[in-house]
Structure 1
Amino acid sequence: WDKFRAGSFAYTSTAFPMLTGTLVTAAGYLPVGLAQSSTGEYTRDIFRVVGMSLILSWIVAVLFVPYLGSLLLPVGTSHAAHHDPEHAVYDTRFYRGMRRAVAWVIGARWWVIAATVLMFLISVAGFTMIPRQFFPSSDRLEVMIDLRLPEGGSFAASARAVKRVEAILQQQKGIRSWVAYTGAGTPRFFLAFSPVLQTPNFAQFVINTDNVPAREALLARLTAGIDQGEFPDIRMRASRLELGPPVGYPVQFRITGPDPAELRRIAVGVGEALRADPHIRNVSDNWGNLGKSVAITIDQDKARLLGLSSQDVATTLQTVLQGAMISQYRENLDLIPIVLRATAAERRDLADLGQVSIRGANGQTVPLSQIATVQPAMEEAFIERRNRLPALTVRGDIGDGAQAPDVTAEILPHLDALKAALPPGYAIETAGAVEEAGKGQASVNAVMPLMVLVMLTLLIIQMQSFSRMAMVLLTAPLGLIGVTAALLATGAPFGFVAMLGFIALAGIIMRNSVILVDQIERDLREGTEPAAAIANAVVRRTRPILLTAAAAILALVPLAFSVFWGPMAIAIMGGLVSATALTLFFVPALYAAWTRVPRAAQRPRAAGIEAAVNKNAIAQG
């Protein structure tokens, strides 16, 4: 062939099957790009980048590469003297071996299909052994320390706690710098970081370490101090930065109900279940301890006789204890409020509160002790609500090597008895990483029907046959064989990002199947015998499939070492290996079984098909 014929043939024979396969691959990333959740924010750009890259790669492959080949490739080849120059490139030891292998596959089609199904079932069973994960911890070098004093703690007490932690940090090697925020949390300096609201009993550290070993050594030192009770009066937590939506404590159980006291009683049982698990440490709840308060019970009958109301008592006590603005002082352009309140000495002793004079609307004043009783009390200092109900969350950290979904699954059976004994109106819900993973999964599942619809539309346009489309679809889930093997071999967890890679892998597998089935159909239309058409298509597509798979696998190698993208890269790499074998061996066997290729054309199997392949190759030449 001359250069123009060769270049145009490359376009006319592969452009549209490649386009369909490319669009099917891009459609595999649709759930990533259209997921409406906080989780989707971290992965949405994958769809945009991969989609644009795939379209551009198709344009380059079908237009620029043939043009470049017509400019650079020589007119003659080393096979010019061969009796069949068009097919001489496939007459090598490697391709002859491929012909024999495909001939055997077609003859033993049902054995190949059965073996593939068996491997798929084994991979499904093995998939249950893969550790689950939502998002991994960040590989950044910062260490976060949260210090929370008992409710009602002062700013000065928080500052003293900060000094105690700083004394430890000064003795630790590998620390570059640190900053402490007292009375408030750190400003949001990282996308996945959730700031803490201002409160005087809270302080937070951001510590910059020199390297990962220094970070881990610091975490080990702080974790040991927490576990050994080095800070008994402080609720302390040391952690790495998170990737993905902020979760905080990875294992959490939320208790909801109308009565805060009953919630605390239930929380005791939940906390015991968490502490009994060997992977859980640093168990706490989000309400903290009860805060000190003063209970003032007004005798309404006496108050009404004196012309006093509860509002009068509340206003007077607020003025005495917190102060009331009585005027403003102007200094240049600034207005400075003038606040009236009792002196510090008068506000220090609870016994003096009963001597506060209450003035009614008629101008009469009486001591507070004559119309009310003043008693110290304890009450909830902080109540979080969810769906208008008080919600108390019991949470805990997990040790290195454990994954939050797996640990949560271990604890859930121990909560069954507690759930069965809950009063009406109360519930124990799973929160933390498991809840966020469920939200992310739900947002992806919501887009899955659209992805399937787009894939089906593309396949039916290309295949022009429902049976051929169904055959291609059957190959999509078989990527699980390679995914399971790769994740088990490397010990990588299956998280949200790996799940996205698995979904996209289905598109890659179907792309290869589309191109191969289209080549078989093309050869059949040209009059090639069915068995020879299958073998011819595999032989022609072997090198492109192997090279594209190898290029993709090698391109993913750098990502395999990434904390965030590593599980996805490993899943796709393993899936590509199995997808290559599926395309070259399983798809021919499936096609032969699906289209009922006559067995008469297969006696003897290998020799007969190989002879038919060579005969048709010479005829086409």
Structure 2
Amino acid sequence: AVAIGMVVDDAIVDVENVFRRLRQNAARPDPEPVLGVIARASGEVRSSIFYATVLIVLVFVPLLGLTGVEGRLFTPIAVATIVSMIASFLVSLTLIPVLCSLLLRPRPGADHPDGWLVRGLKRLLRATALRVGLGYPVPVLAAVGVAVLAAFSLYPQMGKDFLPAFREETALVAATSAPGTSLEEMNRISDAIEEQILLVPEVRQVGRRLGRAERGDHVVPVSTAEFDVDFRAPDGGGPGRPRREILEEIKARVRTVPGVFAAVSGPLADRIGHMMSGVSAPVAVKIFGPDIDELRRIGTRIEALARTIPGFEDARGDQQASIPQLRIEPDRDRCAAYGITPGELNDRLGALIGGRTIAELRDGVRAIRLVLRLPLEWRESPERIAQIPIQSGPQRFFPLGAVADVREAKGPNVIFRENGQRRFTVAIRPSARDAGALVERLAQEVDRTVDLPEGYFVTYEGEFQARRDATLRIGILGGAVFVVVLCLLTGYFRSVSLALQVLVNIPLALVGGLVFTWLLIGNISIATLVGFIAVGGIAARNGIMMLSHYLHLMHREGEGFTRQMVERGTLERMVPVLMTALAAGIALVPFVLAGDAPGKEILHPVAVVIVGGLISSTLLDFLVTPTVFYHFARKAALGALARGAAAAG
């Protein structure tokens, strides 16, 4: 979708130049052979098309370095664009000249002027951008510089997100009760929650599950219920209430059920948050240390601090509580006296109490495991467990109580570990954008008010961290690509000055991208950065086409470095520049208009940036490129011609 407009750019530039040369040839008294004119005209733009295609391919290379969720989402965009641009260049190299020879047949001996629209646009361009830019360069460049600085000042004002907010068609409500809540009690609580959710008019149906399997990758106790909420279409076919308002009502109704903590999100956002930090939340504050009670104390304090920050009201710590436990603590000295190790003892008790699979039965395609373990009345009685006979030799048996202390006690319902260390987690679902700024504020509050004993430390993880890592990776790879592009352009123009002038078009494109993002979205995500990469490549491509045509006119058509040459070159390149911009922009307009449609969340920010950047880069390119070239590039242009630059054709 991103490349659908760019893939025709090579063909547009090639066909426009061929058609212009064919019209000029048809108007001559002695026209040359058509095939020779087509071959020569196509060759005039061949090198500039090649370098422009290489530039587009290179600017998408940083996306290939993305990993994790962002890599899964945006690497296919980069691969599709790179392959499409290479295929587009090959088509313009082979098929387009053949089609031009078959389809473009201007009538010999007749004038072939531009159409009325093109003539009007050229007059407008000559009377405005060219007249002002070439006549008053300092005020024009100063005004453009102010516009660029003003647009770039919008960047720090916008929120920073990892991914755009997903507009999912369903919602996920996660409700947690006190640890140790029984399945029957949680079922009754879930009935009350479900009744409250169904009171929302837009809700069509609700499904729920209590806990998750212990052998799954995301273990959840039965004290946690998850509700999948499906919505009905608005009555009358209208837009209905905003989804945010509906979710807020669901959240408010669920909170009326006493004894539960509930969070509302989308299924996809919930899964992404879990992949980012290991918990089902976009932000996770993890406290590591040796003592469970101390971890809980620090975590409870951080949870209270988070709830004082607007946007972090839905902070929730791990649901840990003391529950009745049956403890079996082996005595190493007594075990040694009886000739058994604690490890062997644990293995045998695990089989007797937890069970051990001794066979597998088959009933057709159904597999049934045969498990051997003690009966329930033995497993729940400390006295009987203490009397379990343990064998330490061929004829030697002794009761478990002789080598281990068997007693009832209190202990935590769950102990979380990560990288071999105990941890307590505060999961946060931000209700405001720019979670990164909120996390920085929370970290400052924690550093200022929470004293961490020796051996304890806090980490902050989640989507904001993934955004920072991805932004840094794109920045590093982008810098490397910038150096490679600068070297290629320097070799193409045989001038560092002209290469830098091509790259000046990139900030001009970012102006429109930033303004449109600020107006239509209001925050920066990885998808927005992808749009900046794409539009920067398109803008630099137009600069290559413009400057190479100036040099071609001077080298091949006898033009001097004059104002007339600059005006002619700009006007002759106006049509392909406008057509490539329109082709790329029009293809993305549906994604710009579909900002609220589910499934368009990733492409919408990309399209907004590209369309805005195309508008600014196209308009400012006609103003800045001829102005800078005419007033500051005389020496560089003459030097490039003297050195036989490939850009001169």
TM-score by length of 1: 0.80
Structure 1 residues 131-140 or 38-47, which shifts more?
A: 131-140
Find the aligned partners of 1:354 and 1:68 in 2 and give their Cα distance. Answer: 89
Q: CA deviation at 1:224?
A: 1.0
Equivalent pairs, count? 580
Matched to 1:376, the amino acid is: A
- Deviation readout 1:253-293 (Å, 9 max, x if unpaired): 22233443333222123212210012123321346444442
Residue 589 of structure 1 pairs with residue 617 of structure 2: no
Q: 1:158 to 1:86 in 2, by over 3 A?
A: same
Deviation at 1:519, TM superposition (A): 1.0
Which amino acid in 1 is paired with 2:622?
L
Does residue 103 of structure 1 match 2:134? no
* Aligned partners of 1:133 and 1:493 also within 8 Å: yes
SS of the aligned residue for 1:75 comes to coil
Structure 1 position 482 matched with structure 2 position 505 = no
1:185/1:175 Cα in 2 relative to 1: closer, same or farther (>3 Å)? farther
| Alpha-carbon separation, structure 2, partners of 1:500 and 1:559 | 15
C-alpha deviation, 1:513, in angstroms: 0.6
Q: Is the CA contact (8 Å cut-off) linking 1:134 and 1:495 kept in structure 2?
A: yes
Which of residues 239, 260, 263 is equivalent to 2:265? Answer: 239
Look up the equivalent residue of 2:263 and give its one-letter code.
Answer: R
After TM superposition, the structure 1 stretch with the greater mean CA deviation from structure 2, 375-384 or 489-498, is 375-384
Q: Does 1:341 align with 2:374?
A: yes
Question: Would the alpha carbon gap of residues 236 and 358 (structure 1) be closer, same or farther in structure 2, given more than 3 Å must change?
Answer: farther
Shift of 1:30: 1.3
Residues 312 and 360 in structure 1, CA contact (< 8 A), matched pair in contact too: no
What SS does the corresponding residue of 2:370 show, helix, strand or coil? strand
1:424-503 correspondence to structure 2 within 5 Å: 424-445=454-475, 447-503=477-533
| 1:391 alignment partner, one of 410, 419, 423 | 423
Change (3 A) 1:166 1:49: same
Determine the C-alpha separation between the residues in 2 that align with 1:195 and 1:323: 22
Per the alignment, residue 196 of structure 1 pairs with 218
Show CA shifts across 1:141-194 (max 9, x none): 12223344544455445544444444445545444444433442799xxxxxx9
**Per-residue deviation at 1:498?**
0.8
Counterpart residue number, 2:17: none
Deviation string 1:291-343 (CA, Å, 9 cap, x unpaired) is 44244566777787888875687578657754567x76978898863634244
Among 200, 203, 208, the residue aligned to 2:230: 208
Residue identity in the other structure for 1:95 = K
Partner residue, 1:220: 248
Q: Which of these residues, 253, 260, 269, is aligned with residue 301 of structure 2?
A: 269
Give the stretch that moved more between structures: 64-73 or 431-440.
64-73
Query: 3-state SS of the aligned residue for 1:255?
Result: strand
CA contact (8 A) 1:354 1:374 kept: no
* TM-aligned CA distance change 1:217 to 1:125, over 3 Å: closer
- Does the CA-based 8 Å contact 1:149-1:235 persist in structure 2? yes
Contact 2:415–2:422 under 8 Å retained in 1: no
Q: Does 1:382 align with 2:410?
A: no
> Is residue 162 of structure 2 the alignment partner of residue 134 of structure 1?
yes
Distance 1:90 1:66, change over 3 A: farther
Identity over aligned residues, as a percent?
19
Counterpart Cα distance in 1 of 2:37 and 2:342: 96
Does 1:517 find its partner at 2:517? Answer: no
Unpaired runs of 5+ in structure 2?
1-23, 27-33, 235-239, 595-599, 637-649
Taking the aligned partners of 1:40 and 1:491, their CA distance within structure 2 comes to 22
Q: Is the 8 A contact 1:516 1:583 kept in 2?
A: no
Alignment-mate amino acid for residue 339 of structure 1: L
Partner of 2:146: 118
Map Cα deviations across residues 207-250 of structure 1 (whole Å, 9 max, x no partner): 3323485865663343113444x141x44333113369444312
Partner in structure 1 of residue 4 of structure 2: none
What amino acid does structure 2 have at the position aligned with 1:564?
I
Counterpart of 2:616 in 1: which secondary structure? helix
Matched, 1:38 2:62: no
Greater Cα offset, 465-474 or 410-419: 410-419
SS at match of 1:280: coil
What is the root-mean-square deviation of aligned Cα atoms in Å?
Answer: 4.0
**2:591 matched to which residue of 1?**
559
Give 1:518 shift: 0.6
Q: Which residues of structure 1 form unaligned runs of 5+?
A: 188-193, 599-621
**SS of equivalent residue, structure 2 residue 429:** strand
Aligned position for 1:611 = none
- 8 Å CA contact 2:64–2:78 kept in 1: the answer is yes
1:231-380 equivalent positions in 2, closer than 5 A: 231-232=258-259, 234-242=260-268, 245=272, 246-247=275-276, 248-286=280-318, 288-295=320-327, 321-322=353-354, 337=370, 339-344=372-377, 347-348=379-380, 352=383, 356=387, 361=392, 368=401, 372=405, 374-379=407-412
CA distance in 1: counterparts of 2:369 and 2:123, whole angstroms? 94
Amino acid at match of 2:122: Y
Q: Provide the secondary structure at the position in 1 that maps to 2:68.
A: coil
SS at match of 1:38: helix
CA contact (8 A) 1:287 1:392 kept: no
Matched, 1:51 2:82: yes
Aligned-partner Cα distance in 2 for 1:509–1:435: 31
Structure 1 residue 53: deviation in Å?
Answer: 2.7
Aligned-partner Cα distance in 1 for 2:360–2:563: 99
Q: 1:574 to 1:88 in 2, by over 3 A?
A: closer
- Partner of residue 606, structure 2: 568
Question: 2:47 is matched with which residue: 7, 11, 16?
Answer: 16
- Is the deviation greater in 6-15 or in 212-221? 212-221
Q: CA deviation at 1:508?
A: 1.0
Could you tell which deviates more after superposition, 468-477 or 300-309?
300-309
Write the distance in 1 (CA, Å) between the matches of 2:417 and 2:332: 32
> SS of 2:415's equivalent?
coil
- Return closer, same or farther for 1:332/1:425 CA change in 2, 3 Å cut-off: closer
Q: Deviations over 1:496-521 (max 9, x none)?
A: 01111112222111101111111111
How big is the shift at 1:460? 3.1
Query: Contact 1:225/1:231 (CA < 8 Å) preserved in 2?
Result: no
- Against the structure 1 CA distance between its residues 528 and 309, is the aligned structure 2 distance closer, same or farther, given a 3 Å change threshold? closer
1:549 corresponding residue in structure 2: 581
Q: TM-score, normalised by structure 2?
A: 0.77
Q: Secondary structure, in 3 states, of the residue corresponding to 1:398?
A: coil
Cα gap change, 1:320/1:240 in structure 2, threshold over 3 Å: closer, same or farther?
Answer: same
Find the aligned partners of 1:27 and 1:528 in 2 and give their Cα distance: 34
Does the CA contact (< 8 Å) of 1:227 and 1:282 recur in 2?
A: no
The alpha-carbon deviation at position 136 of structure 1 amounts to 2.7
**2:179 touches 2:319 (CA, 8 Å); kept in 1?**
no
CA deviations 1:567-595 (Å, max 9, x no partner) are 11111111111111231111122223432
Range that drifts further, 41-50 or 588-597: 588-597
Task: Verify the 8 A CA contact 2:512 2:613 in the aligned structure 1.
Answer: yes
Q: Residue 395 of structure 1 aligns to a residue in which SS?
A: strand
Distance in 1 of aligned mates of 2:162 and 2:178? 31
Task: State the distance in 2 between where 1:377 and 1:104 align.
Answer: 83
1:456, 1:469 within 8 Å by CA — same for their partners in 2?
Answer: yes
1:411 has 2:442 as partner = yes
Secondary structure of the residue aligned to 1:377 is: strand
Q: Distance in 1 between matches of 2:220 and 2:426?
A: 22
Q: Contact 2:155/2:514 (CA < 8 Å) preserved in 1? A: yes
CA-CA distance at 1:418 after TM superposition: 4.1
CA drift of 1:425 comes to 3.7
